[in-house]
Amino acid sequence: MVEKAKEVRNHERLLTLQDELRSLIAQAEYLRDQIDAVTTTIQDLASVIETLSYLEKRGEGKTVLLPLGAGNYIRAKIEKVDTVIMGVGGRLSIEASIKEAKDMLGERVKVLEQLRLDLLKKLEEINRRINEILPQVEELAKQEQGQ
Amino acid sequence: MSTGSFNQEILRLIEESRLLRREISALRSMLTEVEEALRLLNKIGWKRRFFRALAGLLIEIPPEEAKEYLSERKEVLETRLKSLEERERKVRSMLSRALKAVPETS
């Protein structure tokens, strides 16, 4: 009787832990996707900052190839490098000086880097919890198979 | 109502709830973007050249129009979001009632 009650308790515990494990794995996958998306955006922004720095110093009068689509380009000359048109969100763009644009982009990078760190911390916590409950699930499943 | 129709109704409500969640999340992200743009422009100032993206073109607009455009867009998004959140609450409550009713009929 006591043995049976213990079996039921163990089975319920196993189901609860399996549920938690599934939920944690889903959360970890979601966080990994978010971290990847944030990392890609940081890389894009860093690349724009680098391009702006180059254009600011050496861009004036340079010939560039303007993409027309489907791998076709047309030659164009950079007339002015003192300002840039940058998107601010909500389908709106503004004209800003290169310094202003670089500052704003740098600010965005800082915010995103902090966000990335927070997400990584959360992922670490979730992984720690997964590593905690995984052996318990394995042990309970083994016990159940042995019964 | 038969158990079959109850199940159909529950599945329909779950699907509607899922679609609403997705739409609400997209609207929230658009609203955050507009609020961020307003916050940034209030910080750096409105005296500059503005361009609005329309059908792949960037059309220059005066600062007043840019301000009006962002404020209107914020208002529209907030209204739409409020109405969807209201609908989601209703759907959730309908779903909860339907789930409670299933064991009584089966």
Q: Complex ipTM, two decimals?
A: 0.73
Residue B104's pLDDT band (cuts 50, 70, 90): low
Whole-number Å distance between alpha carbons of A96 and A80: 13
Inter-chain residue contact A92 with B58, CB threshold 8 Å: no
Q: How far B38 CA sits from the closest chain A CA (Å)?
A: 9
- pLDDT at A29 > cutoff 90: yes
Q: How confident is the model at residue B2 (pLDDT cuts 50, 70, 90)?
A: low
| Contact indicator for A116, A39 with CB cutoff of 8 Å | yes
Taking the CA atoms of B61, B62, B64 and B70 in sequence, report the sign of the dihedral they define: positive
DSSP bridge pairs for A86? A94
Q: Please give the Cα distance from B21 to B17 (Å, whole number).
A: 6
Residue A66 lies inside a defined structural domain of this protein: no
| Residue A75 belongs to some domain of the structure | no
On whether residue A137 sits in a domain, the answer given is yes
Interface contact B37-A89, CB threshold 8 A = yes
Confirm whether A86 is domain-assigned: no
Among the partner residues A85, A88, A104, nearest to B58 by beta-carbon distance: A85
Q: Which amino acid is at B48?
A: R
* Beta-sheet pairing, B50-54 with B57-61: antiparallel
With cut-offs at 50, 70 and 90, classify the pLDDT of residue A70: very high
Q: Residue A83 carries which side chain, given as an amino acid letter?
A: T
Residue A103 falls inside a structural domain: yes
Q: Does residue A77 belong to any structural domain of this protein?
A: no
Q: What confidence score (pLDDT) does residue B106 get?
A: 45
Task: Tell whether A91 is covered by a domain.
Answer: no
> What is the distance between the alpha carbons of residues B75 and A114, in angstroms, rounded to a whole number?
30
Cβ distance B51 to A95 less than 8 Å, yes or no, reads: yes
> For residue A81, what is the DSSP state?
-
**Count of domains observed in chain A:** 1
Q: Above pLDDT 70, what percent of chain A? A: 99
Looking at residue A9, its pLDDT comes to 87
pLDDT of B3 over the 80 cut: no
Q: How close does chain A come to B102, measured CA to CA in Å?
A: 24
Residue B9 pLDDT class (50, 70, 90 cuts): confident
Mean pLDDT of chain A: 93
Domain with A16 in it: 2-56+96-146
* Interface membership of B52 toward A (CB under 8 Å): yes
Note the pLDDT tens digit of each residue in A75-122: 999 998 999 999 998 899 999 999 999 999 999 999 999 999 999 999
Instruction: Give A90 to chain B, closest Cα distance, Å.
Output: 5
DSSP structure class, residue A120: H
Domain assignment present for residue A79? The answer is: no
**pLDDT tens per residue across span B10-69:** 999 999 999 999 999 999 999 999 999 999 899 888 999 999 998 888 999 999 999 999
Residue B69 touches chain A, beta carbons under 8 Å: yes
Dihedral angle of Cα A118, B38, A95, A103, to the nearest 10 degrees: -30
